[in-house]
Amino acid sequence: MLDESKPLFIAVADQIEDGVLDGTYPEETPVPSTNELAAFLRINPATAGKGLNRLADAGVLVKRRGVGMFVAPGATDLVRRRRREDFRQAYIAPLLREADHLGLTTQELITMLTEEAPR
């Protein structure tokens, strides 16, 4: 369920971020509590809390005293902007590396992309 190639608390944060991005957690609504997350993901509460705090530090979540963590206003744009910046490194670089192994030219890649893209 969680991406095991990265530290657990980062995997937790990324999963919540995915939810913010796809509207599972709309802005200004609560996200699961530390203990709920821990039970659901079967991880230590301290790790779950660390993941949530990472998002709070990044401005994606805001703490409301005594109530819990909420998705910050503008969080969707914030996450989308940062993910776009990471896109080259995380997706384009490995794509080009594999294409190179297979002897695919850039033109062939572009053709594939155009064919596979919806519409």
| Binding footprint of other proteins on the chain (CB under 8 A) | 4-9, 34-35, 38-39, 41-47, 97
First to last CA, the chain: 31
Residue 93 identity = A
Kindly report the length of the chain. Answer: 119
Half-sphere exposure of 38 (CA within 13 A, CB side): 10
Minimum Å gap between C-beta 52 and other proteins is 14
Minimum Å gap between C-beta 114 and other proteins is 28
| Closer Cβ to other proteins, 19 or 45, answer by number | 45
Minimum Å gap between C-beta 46 and other proteins is 5
Burial 20-45 (b: 16+ CB within 10 A, else e): beeeebeeeeebbbbeebbeebebee
